[in-house]
Amino acid sequence: MATVSIIVPIYNVEAELRKCVSSILAQTYKDIEVILVDDGSPDNSGAICDEFASKDNRIVVIHKENGGLVNARKSGLERSTGRFISYVDGDDWIEEDFIQNLVDCQQKYNVDIVAAGFAKDIGDDSERFTNVISSGFYDKTRMIAEVYPRMICAGPYFYFGVCSYVWNKLFKKELLYDCQMAVDSRISIGEDTCVVFPVLLKANTLYISENNSYHYYQKAYSMLKSVGSLEKEKEKVTWLNNYLNKAMKDHLDKYHLGKQIERYIDGLKIIRYGEKETSPRNHLFDAAPTDRVAIFSGGIVGQNIYSIFASKKIGTITGWFDRDAEIYRAQGLKVQNIEDIPKTEFDIIVIANLDETSINKNLAVLNKYGIDPKKVVSLL
């Protein structure tokens, strides 16, 4: 029985899977079990899993019918034998010391959870992030005072005090199991939040690490939506909201958790289907029908915002810009280079980013090009 079970949910990631699994097998910490969950992938992912398993006896492969990310993680957890659980998504990769760093923190402080940072990779660019809440050891008293009141909302939209992903953490299995298995398998957005924050509430100890050697690979594929799929997004957000409130129902009046969940859901309503009544701070969709609109960011959020403007016919889109425009154009998206911003006519330009750091970087670009600040809209 291995000390750490690493669960890898896999669906249609044959292009990235070899790098992912190879990075796990190359870990300096060797006492691992690697559970590859092929969630009914129609591509060659399943065969790649079997190939790796034939060469390394630390690998367990599960082939199953497609059931979604939540279901795949449940299947992996049920099969696991380790005392500790970590997750890696099938299109991501980890540096060779990632698991060792997590284990070292756990052993030194004997904690229930170790929460690390991560790196976000887009093309050849990589940007590193740490948790908003300061690194260090937290017992229950400190968690109540410093973590719970801001773990879901620590400022602007999607400004989590503790990173909301499951994959940059190490959990005691006995603590994690019930929280993971209880998640509604229909949930297909915010799946990680349904686990991370209920587990934190159960935990008595936490170590927040500055380690950010987990690499989250953000694909540049198209997520453009139609009006019909925007309605489906509303249903998904409703399921998530209901589940979070149910899972943390005994704590909603404590630590401002009810308000934190509400803030998180408000943000999702804005970026997933364009609801604009949720907050006086939200002016993303205030354009008049005659306004010319430009969108700054080609990522997932930018694609969502573009879809909302196009589907709901909010103004006329005259430009769509990103620093990595070539990557998005290769995927068939009509994203322009940022050098085209001053050449484009628009009445408003929407900065389609969630985090304050990215928003400020794009604000600096617009300032450099002399764009009138009155034309600029963001979530800040």
Is 278 part of a structural domain of the chain?
no
> Residue 367: which domain range?
292-378
In CATH, what number is assigned to the domain containing residue 131?
A: 3.90.550.10
Question: 86 with 133: CB under 8 angstroms?
Answer: no
Residues 82-100, mean pLDDT to the nearest whole number: 98
Query: What is the number of domains present in the chain?
Result: 3
SS3 call for 223: coil
In angstroms, the Cα distances linking 95 to 11, 26, 121, 136, 244 are: 22, 8, 13, 22, 32
Half-sphere exposure of 214 (CA within 13 A, CB side): 27
Is 226 part of a structural domain of the chain?
no
Please say if the pLDDT value at position 221 is more than 90. no
Do residues 39 and 183 both lie within one domain? Answer: yes
Do residues 255 and 303 both lie within one domain? Answer: no
SS3 call for 330: helix
Best CA proximity match to 170, nearest among 1, 2, 5, 8: 5
- For residue range 157-184, what is the model confidence (pLDDT) as tens digits? 888 999 999 999 999 999 999 999 999 9
Do residues 116 and 198 both lie within one domain? Answer: yes
In CATH, what number is assigned to the domain containing residue 353?
A: 3.40.50.720
Half-sphere exposure of 205 (CA within 13 A, CB side): 12
Is 280 part of a structural domain of the chain?
no
Do residues 29 and 68 both lie within one domain? Answer: yes
Residue 231, pLDDT score:
81
Please say if the pLDDT value at position 225 is more than 80. no
Do residues 303 and 374 both lie within one domain? Answer: yes
Is 119 part of a structural domain of the chain?
yes
Do residues 211 and 189 both lie within one domain? Answer: yes
Do residues 151 and 111 both lie within one domain? Answer: yes
Do residues 214 and 237 both lie within one domain? Answer: no
- For residue range 20-68, what is the model confidence (pLDDT) as tens digits? 999 999 999 999 999 999 999 999 999 999 999 999 999 999 999 999 9
**Looking at this protein, which amino acid is placed at residue 93?**
W
First and final CA of the chain: distance in angstroms? 49
Is 162 part of a structural domain of the chain?
yes
Do residues 99 and 200 both lie within one domain? Answer: yes
Do residues 41 and 163 both lie within one domain? Answer: yes
Tell me the C-alpha distance between 36 and 62, whole Å.
6
SS3 call for 131: coil
